[in-house]
Amino acid sequence: MGKVSLFMIVFATLMIAPFCSAMDRNVKEENAILLVAFGTSYPEAQASFDSIEAIYEEEFPNAEIRMAFTSDFIRQKIADRDGIFIDNPVTAIAKLNDEGYVKVVVQSLHVIPGEEFHDLANIVDSFNSIDGKFAFQNLVMGMPLLTRMEDYQATSIALASQFDKTTDEKGNAQGRPRDPKDTAVALMGHGTKHSANSAYSQMALILKEDYENVFLGTVEGYPAYEDVLEGVSSSGTTSVRMMPFMIVAGDHANNDLYGDEDDSWKVMLEGEGFDTEPYLKGMGENNEIVKIFVEHTKAALEELET
């Protein structure tokens, strides 16, 4: 969608909001934080977003916390199936504006600053171009998970607790120490054609330095499954603990990673003679990962106040 078309949507959304033409606006002093993710329609995966929202409400007790999904398909599926209506970022930001929130952080819950993140940044830029009484005093972005070198290092440390856990058939966490000489870890990221895909290669190298026999690949980018297989095959291990390098354990985790189709990583690794075990929980359920997003939000709030 071009900038002109997006601006027209933003403008139209604001204009049709009820009572927004009043001469005096009811401006709220408190901040608002809009958490924006691609979304998921898996009820079990929703636990990641519940965990993130709970931590944000604890960390920012005086701020209004809301959630928006960028995927229209997922939003429509949830609406049709559950009768739950989740806003897209354009609508969510416009609603905050109409309700008088003029100091807002739009916090990306993406793993890397790829295409989805840049689309979100364009939306924020469009709202920031509005002048007059409907303008935001401050509308700023909170960065994705992997933005600075410190983020990669913090993410690697945060994942340590997952490497020593697996899950039962119902997805409940089960603690068990991992012997890295016996059990490798295969992490699946999403991957993208966007240049930001290089973040996965950097993360894979850091994990290789920090841990023994931990390998990161992606569904749609580089490193790929073949790179993970090469690492696992040369590791001398006999089993593989499999987990998503994604905020939620949704479609990719349940199908591409640990599904029963012939092209799932689970089936292909078992075909190579490895035993597999799942850790089907999104990184959003890892409190230490969420704290990295929180730090990005705090940095955005500092920008907001200045």
Domains identified in the chain, total number: 2
The answer on 204 and 164 residing in a single domain is yes
Instruction: Give the DSSP letter of residue 256.
Output: I
Binned at pLDDT 50, 70 and 90, residue 251 comes out as confident
CA distance 22 to 233: 67
Residues 61 and 92 in one domain: yes
CATH number for the domain spanning 292: value is 3.40.50.1400
Shared domain for 155 and 120, answered yes or no, is no
d(CA 9, CA 243): 39
C-alpha 280/C-alpha 262 separation (Å) is: 19
Dihedral sign computed on CA atoms, order 53, 57, 58, 60: positive
Each residue's pLDDT tens digit, 231-247:
999 999 999 999 999 99
In this structure, the answer to whether residues 127 and 199 fall within a common structural domain is no
Q: How far apart are CA 133 and CA 34, in angstroms?
A: 21
Backbone Cα Rg of the chain:
21
**Do 247 and 270 share a structural domain?**
yes
- Domain match, 160 and 269 both: yes
Distance of alpha carbon 173 from the chain centroid = 21
Q: What is the model's pTM?
A: 0.88
Pull the structure tokens for residue 247.
């905020």
Asked if 101 and 117 sit in the same domain, the reply is yes
Measured CA distances, 34 to 53, 113, 140, 154, 302 (Å): 10, 17, 10, 23, 16
In terms of domains, do 76 and 159 share one?
no
pLDDT digits (tens, 9 = 90+) for 168-213: 655 566 656 788 999 999 999 999 999 999 999 999 999 999 999 9
Please check whether residues 140 and 10 belong to one and the same domain.
yes
Q: What local confidence, expressed as pLDDT, does residue 159 receive?
A: 95
Cα dist. 259→92, 166, 243, 272 in Å?
A: 34, 16, 12, 16
Alpha-carbon gap, residue 184 to 188, rounded angstroms: 13
What value does the mean pLDDT take over residues 154-161?
A: 95
Domain match, 102 and 208 both: no
Q: Are 227 and 265 in contact (CB under 8 A)?
A: no
* 127 and 238 inside one domain: no
User: Which tens digits make up the pLDDT trace of 254-293?
Assistant: 999 999 999 999 999 999 999 999 999 999 999 999 999 9
Q: Is pLDDT at 51 greater than 70 in this prediction?
A: yes
Q: Is the model's pLDDT at 22 over the cut of 50?
A: no
* pLDDT exceeds 80 at position 18: no
User: What is the distance of C-alpha 253 from the center of its chain?
Assistant: 14
- DSSP-derived pairing of the beta strands 165-167 and 173-175: antiparallel
CA-based angle 250:159:214, to the nearest 5?
90
Please indicate, yes or no, whether residues 212 and 127 belong to a single structural domain of this protein.
no
Structural contact between residues 111 and 197, judged by C-beta atoms closer than 8 angstroms: no
Range of the domain at 158: 149-281
Q: How far apart, in whole angstroms, are the C-alpha atoms of residue 203 and residue 222?
A: 11
pLDDT top residue among 76 and 6: 76
